[in-house]
Amino acid sequence: MLTVGLTGGIGAGKSEVSRLLVANGAVLIDADRIAREVVAPGTPGLASVVEAFGPDVLAADGSLDRPKLGAVVFADPEKLAALNAIVHPLVGRRSRELEAAAPEDAVVVHDVPLLAENALAPLYDLVIVVDASPETQLDRLVRLRGMTEEDARARMAAQATREKRLSVADIVIDNDVPLEVLERRVQDIWDGLVRRAHGSPKPPQE
């Protein structure tokens, strides 16, 4: 098994890289999806969030109102840290369970948005960082996700700096490129990951 930490700044295109890796056969463990599951209605995680932030963060149906909570925590580093202290241990426990269930020769990709922020790089055999310029990130968030520029900049500022993310990378995927170029880059990286997972040496260069 080869464990890979995949991360990137918001709007860098990490989800697209994740999709391409899965299409090639990767076992994906999506921290964001797990983070939603551990605060689903009726879970201890949701009870802890309500205790910390109050019932105003709940929607009318009793589920977590994620946009409302996001507006609170992304503008206040202390509140963001408090939320992370609740959610991250729950996500980590579930991620380890899923990894243990993967086939022995699998390439297991952990999609972890806050990998650099939480110093999680040592948990993985290698780390892939999807990188894009801040200008590209901002454009994607405003144009494709419908965020206001102010909200997009706040979300970007709440994450690790570009330099910090790159400092933990074993592999950097530059995603200031068209999709077809990205697809070729990911395919080349995937071939190398499979060789490592199977214990095969890298073939000699031509």
Domain 35-103 has CATH 3.40.50.300: yes
Environment class of 123 (CB within 10 Å of its CB; exposed 0-12, middle 13-18, buried 19+)? middle
As a whole number of angstroms, the distance between CA 101 and CA 87 comes to: 22
For residue 202, the model assigns a pLDDT of 47
Closest to 4 (Cα-Cα) out of 94, 157, 120, 117: 120
Q: Alpha-carbon distance 7 to 15, whole Å?
A: 9
Q: What is the pLDDT along the chain (206 residues), one digit of tens a residue?
A: 999 999 999 999 999 999 999 999 999 999 889 999 999 999 999 999 999 999 999 999 999 999 999 888 988 889 999 998 999 899 989 999 999 999 999 999 999 988 998 899 999 999 999 999 999 999 999 998 999 999 999 889 989 999 999 999 999 999 999 999 999 999 999 999 999 998 754 444 43
Greatest CA separation for the chain = 63
Compute CA 112 distance to the chain's CA centroid, rounded to the nearest angstrom.
3
* Res 71: pLDDT: 87
Residues of the chain with CATH 3.40.50.300: 1-26+106-206, 35-103
CATH class in words for 1-26+106-206: alpha beta
* pLDDT the model gives residue 137: 94
- 130, 5 contact by CB (below 8 A): no
Which long-range CB contacts under 8 A does 17-21 form with residues at least 24 apart? 17/128, 17/130, 17/173, 17/175, 17/182, 17/186, 18/109, 18/111, 20/182, 20/183, 20/186, 20/187, 20/190, 21/107, 21/109, 21/186, 21/190
Paired strand residues for 3:
108
Q: Where are the alpha helices (DSSP H) in the chain?
A: 14-24, 31-37, 44-53, 66-73, 77-100, 134-143, 149-157, 162-167, 179-197
Residue whose tokens read 């990998």: 115
